Amino acid sequence: MLLALVVVSIALWSSGCAVDLSFPPGFLFGSATSAYQVEGAWNVSDKGESIWDRFTHSQSGNEDGSTGDVATDSYHQWERDMEVAANLSLDYYRFSLSWTRILPNGFANYISEDGKRYYNQLIDGLLAKGIQPVVTIYHWDLPQRLQDLGGWTNPYITDWFADYADVVFSLFGDRVKTWITINEPMLFCDGAYTNTFHLAPGVVDREGVYLCGKNAMVAHGKAYRVYQKKYKAQYNGKLSLSNQLVWYEASTEEDEVWLDIAQQYSYGRFSHPIYSKEGGWPPVIEDHMRNKSSSEGFHQSRLPEFTDEEKELVKGTFDFYAINHYTSRAVRKRRPGEPHGGFPLTGAPDLDLLFERRPDWTEGNEWLYIYPEGLRRMLGWLRDQYGDIPILITENGFSTAEDSLEDHDRVQYYRRYLEQVLLAIKEDGVNVIGYTAWSLIDNFEWMDGYKTKFGLCHVNFSDPLRTRTLRRSGRFYADVIKRRTLDLDSDYRNYEF
C-alpha cells in the first residue's frame, strides 16, 4: 500500500503540545458530486447537448471511449444517493445543476419542466433527511449551443450565465441557502484551452485561456449581483465560487524569488478580483503579462484588462471562500531545453516555471502527490492575503485505480488532511467552517473516465442498477461526522444501497 494502515489513535503535535482532536461547534461536514459525472440520462426528455456530451462522443474525447451517458445513473437512482448521504450523516451534500437539463438550448427563454422536477425532488429529498443542499450552478458542462457561439471566450456569456443563475435562484432559492456559482475556472480555462488535462471543449487557444478567465470572473460577479438585488432579502443565502488551489513551495532557496508570481498566477488570478480591496488582476501578474506580451510583439497584453466598472462589479462578490484542494507542487525556474509543462501541475509556460514533486512527498497517483501540510499552509495563505473570511473546503479527496472496499490508503489520506484542517483552525486561527469529501460515490472522472475511483461509496458499473456499497473510507468519514472528532477506534462495517 502507498500509505501505512490506519492507526486507531493519533496525537497532533505543535510546538510539543498535544492538540484537541475534536472539531469546533458548528463545523460542517459534506460530500460532493457534479451533474455530468453522476447523472447520466444525457438525452432524456428535452435535455440539450453539453460540451461534455459532444466531447466524449467525438474522436477528441477520452482515449478509452468512456462517456457520462449513463455514469452512475443518478438521474434514475437519486434516492440511493440520498441513502448514502443519510448513512454518512452528512450535514450537507454538494451537487451541481446541469445547465442543459434546466435550459435545454442554453438560453433562459425556455425552462424544462423535467429539469425542474428532477432538481426539486433531489433538493426536497435531501431536506427530508435533514441534509442541506449546497448547489453548484456551473460545473464544466456548458451548453454546446453556447460553445458554438464562442463559449467562455465570448463576453456575452457573462449575461447568459447571469440569466441562467437568475432562473435557478427563482426555482430553488427558497430551499437552497448555499450556492457555488462557478466551479474551478482555472481548470476549465487553463486546463481546457491549453489541453493540459484533455478537457471539453477541446479547443487549444493560447489567448482563449485569458479571455475565458476574465469572462468567468465577470459572470460570477453578475450572478452574485443578481442574487443580491432580487433574492438576498427574501432568502438570505450565501454565495461564492470555488477555486482549485494546488499548494506551491519553492524547490530551493534560489527559487523563492519565483514563488510569489506562481502563487498569484494560480491563486490570485481567480481570487484577487473578488476578495482583494483593490479588485482586478494581481498587479504582479498584470505587469508580467504586459511585459511578456510586448516581448512577443503584441500591442496589448494578452491578459485582458478589467474596466473600472468591471472591477467594482466583481469586487466583494463573496460570502465565504470556497477552496478545492488535492495536492501540492515545488516550483523552480525552467532550464533551457526543458519542456514547458502544463499548468497547474507540471508547469506555467507564460511564467517559464516548472512544478515538481518533492522527494519526501508520497506519490498517490500520476498527479496526486500527498502532502497534507500543503492544505494547512494553503488555508493560512488565504487568510493572510484576504483577511479573516469564512473558508469552506468544497473538495478534498484521494483516488485509486482499485475497486477495493478496503481502501485503507484513502482513510489515511482523509485522516491526515483533516488533521491539518484542525491545526489550521486551532493553531493558526483560520476560520474554516466546513469540509467536503470528494466524492460521495465513484463517478465519471473526466479525462480518467472510470479508471480512477474517488468514491466514499463504491459503484458497480457492471450492474445496470449501479449498486452502491460503502467503502471503509465511507465508514471512517461517517464516524468522524457522528463523533465530531478524529479520536476514533471503530470496527467499520459494509453497507449496500
Pairing of strands 28-32, 92-96: parallel
The single residue of 310, 395, 419, 445 carrying the catalytic annotation is 395
Sign of the dihedral through C-alpha 395, 400, 401, 405 = negative
C-alpha cell at 248: 506551491
Please list, in sequence order, all residues whose beta carbon lies within 8 angstroms of the beta carbon of residue 148, skipping any fewer than 6 positions away: none
Are 196 and 204 in contact by the 8 Å Cβ rule? The answer is no
Question: At 430, which amino acid appears?
Answer: V
184 labelled catalytic: yes
Question: At 116, which amino acid appears?
Answer: K
Q: Which of 428, 406, 326 has its CA nearest to residue 371?
A: 326
Query: CA 220 to CA 96: how far, in whole Å?
Result: 15
256 labelled catalytic: no
Query: CA 312 to CA 267: how far, in whole Å?
Result: 20
**Cα-based angle 204, 205, 210 (whole degrees, multiple of 5):** 125
Are 213 and 158 in contact by the 8 Å Cβ rule? The answer is no
The single residue of 184, 249, 310, 419 carrying the catalytic annotation is 184
DSSP state of 447: G
Question: At 497, which amino acid appears?
Answer: F
Please list, in sequence order, all residues whose beta carbon lies within 8 angstroms of the beta carbon of residue 68, skipping any fewer than 6 positions away: 36, 37, 39, 40, 42, 52, 53, 56, 444
Are 306 and 273 in contact by the 8 Å Cβ rule? The answer is yes
Q: Among all residues, which ones are annotated catalytic?
A: 184, 395
